[in-house]
Structure 1
Amino acid sequence: MTIAASGKAAPAVIPADRGVGPLLRAWREQRRVSQLELALRADSSARHISFIETGRSKPSEEMVLRLAEHLDVPVRERNALLLAAGYAPRYPETPLDDPALDALREGLERLIQGYEPYPALVVDALYNVVAANRGILALLDGIPEFLLTQPLNAMRLTLHPQGLAPRIRNLPEWRGHLLAQMERQIALHRSQQLRTLYEEVAAYPVPRTGAADQPEEAAQPVPYFALPMRIEHEGRTLSFVSSISTFNTPMDVTVAELAIETLVPADPATVKYLQSLLP
């Protein structure tokens, strides 16, 4: 599956009656950082931070960016802070299909293809799939067409009762892991679109996976080093653990919101089967 442009997260909406101060205060409180601690991190004073938050002092562009850095504000929201302070956005948002990102797209394609036969995909901030390799496509065999329409969404594909959910042997644990991951992302990005997606997938009925009907295996259980996703595929149970990578110090909103997820085989049987499945 080649990289394609996907639905973007909507730009942050800044209420007309709010300046940068209340927004910075909201980020600081969400990160549970005191004014004094933030001042020490940013080489400022608690008095100056207080004045910025109450609107008594207008921060410089450099100060806005410095505070955003120390509060771990996402790149998209740093632009929103700059706008609220009266400055131009610092970080561009280049469409993924723009020629300027040709090298990035090609690099991502080579990366996930080189990971075959193991599954790998690239998602955006809303978990829309922008690229996937043949390992992923093999797991999606038999999924209804309405779940495969663009933009494909990794959370819908996994948790929908007509998606992968009925095939996941340890669905309650894996579902809980995915929902907790989304909750952390909502806390980090404060995205209403992500919250809407979370509310949708969290409300899906949880199908019975049939795991209780399976006889116990005679072999000793594998000592997993992380929570695995144990999924049925053509009569076999495959086990994977998930690893997620992002770009270091991105300078573009689109690039900042991309994540590469690789599914690492968690046992020798999964390795052997995947190697036979995709020559």
Structure 2
Amino acid sequence: MLKSERQESLVALCEERGTISVRDLSRELGISEMTVRRDLDELDGQGRIERVHGGARSKGVRQTLVRHERSHVEKHELNAAEKDHAATLAAGVIEEGDAIYLGTGTTCEAMVAHLPAVPLKIVTSSLAVFTLLVAHPEYDSGLWDLCLIGGSYLKTTMAFVGPLAEDALGTLGLAHAFVGTNGILGTRIFGHTMAAGRILRAALDAADNRYVVTDASKFGRRDFSAFYELRNIDTVFTDGGIAPDQRQAVEQYCRVVC
């Protein structure tokens, strides 16, 4: 591999992952760690990447960080049509008799209006989702069996977290798990807190089919806690606002439907 090709690959991996270690770069490209360090120093001097202890960071990473968690009301007002579009697509994979998990967030809440009128077992750790479900005609008619996972309550996301919730989810067998996200960057899916991320990870691990449901504004962004890898997701449901390069990057790891 020519030096120019090698350095282009190093930059591409930094941009894809956000932050990556010398060891991982060495393994990915099949070159020595000494060569990686020498190339990273040169690329840092050119302003193409940012050198950090033990590795490198994309120059764009600093601009991708979600600075604060919006309130539940604020989230409802953002990209409502786009969220509803993604929610409609996601609900379309659910079939009669399925056991499903609906995660926290306004996009998963939007799925409730599009769930099929068939017998379902529906599990959630979101009080907001649960409130919508119990007010739905299909619950009154007896078609839906509901399970609210309890634990410590997070007011900002109206969700239950903690060991009790994680243990309960670990005992379940689910056909589908649907989760929202605060950001997708490189190979990782982000949330605002580690506690919330552990719940979503437990639900995804319990499911045969794993989905992210999000509007397109979340691509190219990251938040405090990365809770899952795109390579372990089956499909990302989103809206038509996703940029072609963003879609191409995600489709290296899983399917994108928009």
Q: TM-score, normalised by structure 1?
A: 0.32
Higher strand share: 2
Larger radius of gyration: 1
Higher relative contact order (CA 8 A, sep 6+): 1
